[in-house]
Amino acid sequence: MGSGLTVAVFGAYGHTGRFVVAELRERGFVPVLSGRDADKLKVLAESESGLDARPASVDDPASLDRALAGAAAVINCAGPFATTAAPVIEAALRAGIPYVDVAAEIEANVDTFAHFADRARAAGTAIVPAMAFYGGLGDLLATAAMGDDWTAADEAHIAYGLNGWHPTAGTRTAGAVSRQRRGGRHVRYANGQLEYHDDELPALEWPFPDPMGPRAVIGEFTMADVVTIPSHLSIPEVRTYMAVEAARDLSAPDTPAPAAVDERGRSAQTFLVDVVVRNGGAERRAVARGQDIYAVSAPLAVEAVHRILTGRTRTVGVASAGEIFDAPDFLRALSAHLSFEVRG
């Protein structure tokens, strides 16, 4: 599958980074371990026999160049992406290789589209931000729901039915950075643009499909889908919702980090992502189900790299998952990691 191609993983020793390294190896790629902490890299390299460890800092472009030397692509798993995305993208552009990240930070993803679109397109290089559970999966589902015949829709709704959420330290740090960047305000995508506001987030009930059924959610619990979906789909209203249980876990300071329950290292967390697009009086729905939002980000990112390197893409430059890939085909390719269906 990977044919022995080398893929650099920046932030390889992090929670998601370890899943990405394992997925790359399983698919026949050769990961190059990189990140800012040389000691953590050394420990990881000792556990991953035969892999090269290359410490690098976002403040040292030469170290990033060494980390990416000879690589066919790079996957950035190191948050906060407000700090890491731009330097690693710059290094990827210097190396002439594609870049994929797993950023869930709304503002960091906005920056990637704003700052690198022209340069990446001119270079003929693919840069795919938010190629993860948040941002990438919702975009793929919304694109699949639109089908080949809807070129626009009035609204898109992405509801996250998580049975709980044990956040990693990286998730907490990234969330703090995002809150700081937006001055503690909330954000939503309405009227064709991002709107920052201080309104209280509404408590709602979302009609998840069976067997989950109706469940309490927090409305306007805005995730990276509000960047990825409007980047290529003409939808002026994009709203996201989070199951109350997961929102409470995330906000509680004492919620522990994820704990492995199987041989893959996945936690017991389950998810159902329900995407509804509406156009006039018509409605279409796409649904995905699986286990562990961090673990599933690895096959999403690695499948993206595989398709880019094998020429199964629809554009170049900065592009979200739904724009650059055949969304239904991409989701079907992940059948070992999640189930997927389109309704209506």
- Residue 1 placed within a domain: no
Residue 37 CB partners (closer than 8 Å, separation 6+): 13, 55
Domain that holds residue 166: 135-292+339-343
Tokens of 254: 């004492």
* b/e code 239-260 from CB counts within 10 Å (16+ = b): bbbbbbbbbebbeeeeeeebee
Judge if 176 and 148 occupy the same domain.
yes
- Give the CA radius of gyration of the chain: 19
Judge if 139 and 115 occupy the same domain.
no
The reported pLDDT for the residue numbered 134 is 98
Judge if 33 and 50 occupy the same domain.
yes
Least Cα distance to 96 among 125, 122, 68 occurs for 125
Judge if 252 and 307 occupy the same domain.
no
Q: Which amino acid is at 102?
A: V
If one counts every other C-beta atom within 10 angstroms of the C-beta of residue 322, the result is 25
* b/e code 279-295 from CB counts within 10 Å (16+ = b): beeeebbbbbbbbbbbb
Query: Which of the 8 DSSP states describes residue 1?
Result: -
Under-50 pLDDT residues of the chain: none
Judge if 139 and 127 occupy the same domain.
no
Judge if 151 and 272 occupy the same domain.
yes
- Residue 333 placed within a domain: no
The reported pLDDT for the residue numbered 1 is 61
Judge if 122 and 223 occupy the same domain.
no
Judge if 41 and 128 occupy the same domain.
yes
- Residue 46 placed within a domain: yes
Distance, first Cα to last Cα, the chain: 34
Q: What is the pLDDT of residues 218-233, one digit of tens each?
A: 999 999 999 999 999 9
pTM: 0.97
- Helices 169-181, 15-26: crossing angle, 10 deg rounding: 120
Output the CA–CA distances (angstroms, integers) from residue 183 to 105, 160, 194, 280, in the order listed.
14, 25, 15, 36
Phi/psi for 173 (5° steps) reads: -65, -45
- Residue 68 placed within a domain: yes
- Residue 332 placed within a domain: no
Judge if 139 and 279 occupy the same domain.
yes
- Residue 334 placed within a domain: no
HSE value, Cβ hemisphere, 13 Å, CA-based, for 91: 30
Query: Which of the 8 DSSP states describes residue 280?
Result: T
* Coil, helix or strand at residue 311: coil
The reported pLDDT for the residue numbered 3 is 77
CATH number of 284's domain: 3.30.360
The reported pLDDT for the residue numbered 82 is 97
Judge if 113 and 198 occupy the same domain.
no
- Residue 228 placed within a domain: yes
Judge if 197 and 85 occupy the same domain.
no
State how many domains the chain has: 2
If one counts every other C-beta atom within 10 angstroms of the C-beta of residue 161, the result is 23
CATH number of 322's domain: 3.40.50.720
- Residue 103 placed within a domain: yes
Q: What is the pLDDT of residues 58-103, one digit of tens each?
A: 999 999 999 999 999 999 999 999 999 999 999 999 999 999 999 9
Judge if 304 and 214 occupy the same domain.
no
DSSP string of 13-58, one letter each residue? TSHHHHHHHHHHHHTT-EEEEEES-HHHHHHHHHHSTT--EEE--T
